[in-house]
Amino acid sequence: MNTHPYLRAYLAGVLIPTFILPILLACFIVLRICMHTPVPIEQALVFPMALVPVLWGLWNMLWLATHMRTHLPIGLHGATLPLLLAPCGTIFATNMGVLKLFIWGLSWFNVVILPYALVVPFFLAALIGYYLIWKYVVGYVNRVLGIA
């Protein structure tokens, strides 16, 4: 099974966000329809549904291509992905009008106001979450597909 390792790496990387994003979509639909929360689904999910799975797959392909030279563990490689996704997502959400930036904090969908003091803990939690997902889940799928 040594044929097409980059295709298998892409598919292993795409697996997790492809499972999680429909659950997120269902939560947005429940919030919008059942609880009458003014959450703009079409604007809030364009970036995650279109780009996040593709970036995860490409990031796993990049790990496969550079692993023999860098010997970087897959968990650390995956934990660096939020450093790319967070600025891109923030720029996209700000330009789409989904995210309003205030001097004293962030406001998503004009519902949640997040002070800047909480941005750092949330970002650190995202880094830890990405590390664990990439180390245990993506690493496992890579081993099952024979590319790790």
pLDDT digits (tens, 9 = 90+) for 99-141: 555 544 555 555 445 566 777 888 899 999 999 999 999 999 9
Q: What is the pLDDT of residue 98?
A: 60
Residues 142/4, Cβ–Cβ less than 8 Å = no
Beta bridge partners, 113, equal 107
Give the length of the chain.
Answer: 148
Alpha-carbon dihedral sign for residues 8, 13, 19, 21: negative
Q: What is the DSSP letter of 9?
A: H
Stretch (H or E) spanning 100: strand 99-101
pTM across the whole model: 0.80
Q: With bands split at pLDDT 50, 70 and 90, how would you rate the model's confidence at 9?
A: very high
Nearest-angstrom CA–CA distance, 94 and 97: 5
Q: What is the pLDDT of residue 111?
A: 45
Phi first, then psi, for residue 82 (nearest 5°) are -60, -25
Q: What is the pLDDT of residue 100?
A: 58
Q: What is the pLDDT of residue 45?
A: 73
Read off the pLDDT of each residue in 25-51 and give the average, rounded to a whole number: 76
